[in-house]
Structure 1
Amino acid sequence: MSLRSFFQPVRGALLLAAGLIAFGAQAQTVFRVTTIPEEAATEQVRKFTPLAQYLEKQLGVKVEFTPVNDYPAAVEALVNKKVDLVWFGGFTFVQAHLRSGGKVVPLAQREEDTKFQSVFIAKTDSGIKSLADMKGKQVSFGSQSSTSGHLMPRSFLLQANINPEKDFARVAYSGAHDATIASVVSGKVDAAALDITVWRKFVGENKVDTKAVDVFYTTPGYFNYNWSVHADMPKAMQDKVKAALIGLSPAVPEQAEILKLNRATRYIETRPENYKGLEAAARSAGLI
């Protein structure tokens, strides 16, 4: 047997193995996206699936959007690199940034997130017209990890010398903004705090009767949501993701629909320093 004929099968086996490895690597090239569950899972899928499809075209890789069960799960998913891109609230970004030792990086935020607000709502016949009127009442926040549904409303209450645990008859946590609205409408609680954009969406879609339940207090502005990645993601991919998000244009019908679903006029670049105020508010409120 010649050396050539001896090595030919070996070479073929090595090429086959290399091909299988390459195929396996290719098959596993999936860019994973998730979000904090600020609304029901079905609504999250409706909102973010078109964005995932857009990113798939822009990045040239398969993109999958999968909802998670709660806010802490979104934090852990990115910290442990189980997903590649997460839509965080400002507070969950702070938690992920601290939990990862600074290795969670914010790429883009909506223009609206530079001066976000929360609203407090109550039944119009409840007699609640101010924050002080909430004393002795049953009050709901959203998730404990929510920026607009808990952290910042709590922070503004504390600034008004109102301590929820001492001054309210009961403090509840609904888990999501839509559930917060439902808790007031149904009479489970007397008043509640939530994301202003979710409230406006419900009002705009006639899902709540403002003659029966309406806003009695709107907070000052603060930085909020962003799209974040792990710092271990190659810089070239980070830049590609950021460019894709910032590149969404209201002038392109398909992209305008994505922006509308995301309640955004456009996306702009953001940086960790924008969320230092939220970190300070969380520390003052004893949440971190």
Structure 2
Amino acid sequence: MFKNAKALAALCLLPLTLMFGTFASADDNLQTLRVSAIPDEAPTELLRKFKPLGQYLEQQLGMKVQFIPVTDYAAVVEGLASDKVDLAWLGGFTFVQARLKTGNAIPLVQREKDRQFTSKFITADPAVKSLQDLKGKSFVFGSISSTSGSLMPRYFMDKEGIKPESFFSRVAYSGAHDATAAWVQAGKADAGVLNASVWDKLVASGKVDTSKVRVLATTPPYYDYNWTVRGDLDPTLAEKIKTAFLNLDPTNPEHKAILELQAADRFIETSPENYQSIEDAARSVGLLK
């Protein structure tokens, strides 16, 4: 059922590419802010979340804002490294990868809750009461480059002596948090893990049946998502982008709608040092050499 998932994702992204254009040419760089995001949710959901934010940034910056959809996490890192993306929504691990690849990617802001982010282990198996009960069963992560859907859950399992490839009968990667929930609910995997924010949104919107799927465990907190700019972006523009995010005011109805789509109460400043623990975790479980 899922062998053609990548092809389907590419087809889903085609309308977004037609709507927002492809990578801007070098001649457009000074007039257009090129924005991308890790594809941790369905393409249509990413577009829905970005559209009003993009309009707000255009107003605040006085320039065109172009959204560039991608099919995998690595493409966002490559976009920043090759100067084809100026601003990107990254997970903590993707930021570490971008920082290591470019040497100068700069995290500007994060949501307040990204200082204390968590992942949810979920299952539809009523016999499973703990992670240890999953021995010999199938398990699904999100993308292998996902902080909350792969790296940090793997890191915390490792600290409990659980090595996924030998502990579970099968390990799979769904590619996105909402897909992980769908896999577990449909019985394609006995259990899985996804970020707490997406889980809460799926529950609130009725897109997951909590009479079938339940939270088995929650990870300890860690730093996660941020908005990052390429290191050689004009510092004045980078500061304007940061200010635009910091000025989003939840008491302003228009701003509140933007913040809600970003699952944010507000944005706060962040720094590369906040993600050192993510890099350390990635090295400890062998996802970074």
**TM-score with structure 2 length normalisation?**
0.89
C-alpha displacement at 1:207, in angstroms?
1.1
- Which digits, 9 at most, give the CA deviation of each residue in 1:28-81, with x for residues without a partner? 611111100000111000001111110000000000112111000011111111
C-alpha displacement at 1:181, in angstroms?
0.5
The match for 1:20 is none
Say if 2:125 and 2:190, in contact at 8 Å, map to a contact too.
no
The match for 2:15 is none
The match for 1:81 is 83
Say if 1:143 and 1:173, in contact at 8 Å, map to a contact too.
yes
Give the one of 47, 50, 53 matched to 1:48.
50
Superposition misfits of 4+ residues, deviation over 6 angstroms: none
Q: What is the RMSD of the two structures over their aligned residues, measured on CA atoms? A: 1.2
Say if 1:109 and 1:267, in contact at 8 Å, map to a contact too.
yes
**Tell me, which stretches of 5 or more residues in structure 1 are unaligned?**
1-23
Letter in 2 for 1:182: A
In 2, the alpha carbon distance for the partners of 1:192 and 1:46 equals: 26
In 1, the alpha carbon distance for the partners of 2:254 and 2:261 equals: 11
- Which digits, 9 at most, give the CA deviation of each residue in 1:5-50, with x for residues without a partner? xxxxxxxxxxxxxxxxxxx957961111110000011100000111
In 2, the alpha carbon distance for the partners of 1:183 and 1:237 equals: 42
C-alpha displacement at 1:167, in angstroms?
0.8
In 2, the alpha carbon distance for the partners of 1:146 and 1:154 equals: 11
Say if 2:55 and 2:65, in contact at 8 Å, map to a contact too.
yes
Letter in 1 for 2:114: D
Letter in 1 for 2:64: K
Q: Secondary structure at the match of 2:65?
A: strand
The match for 1:140 is 140
Aligned length: 263
**Tell me, which stretches of 5 or more residues in structure 2 are unaligned?**
1-25
C-alpha displacement at 1:216, in angstroms?
0.7
In 1, the alpha carbon distance for the partners of 2:234 and 2:177 equals: 34
In 2, the alpha carbon distance for the partners of 1:171 and 1:49 equals: 35
- Which digits, 9 at most, give the CA deviation of each residue in 1:207-236, with x for residues without a partner? 111111010100110000000001111111
Say if 1:135 and 1:168, in contact at 8 Å, map to a contact too.
yes
CA pair 190-239 structure 1, distance change in 2 beyond 3 A: same
Alignment of 1:151-166 (within 5 A): 151-166=151-166
Say if 1:55 and 1:63, in contact at 8 Å, map to a contact too.
yes
The match for 2:121 is 120
| Percent of aligned pairs with the same amino acid | 54
In 2, the alpha carbon distance for the partners of 1:70 and 1:151 equals: 16
C-alpha displacement at 1:132, in angstroms?
0.9
Say if 2:144 and 2:150, in contact at 8 Å, map to a contact too.
yes
The match for 1:264 is 264
- Which digits, 9 at most, give the CA deviation of each residue in 1:193-214, with x for residues without a partner? 0010000000001111111101
Alignment of 1:195-274 (within 5 A): 195-274=195-274
Which one has the largest radius of gyration?
1
**TM-score with structure 1 length normalisation?**
0.89
Say if 1:124 and 1:211, in contact at 8 Å, map to a contact too.
no
The match for 2:278 is 278
In 1, the alpha carbon distance for the partners of 2:29 and 2:183 equals: 45
- Which digits, 9 at most, give the CA deviation of each residue in 1:111-132, with x for residues without a partner? 010000000000152x111111
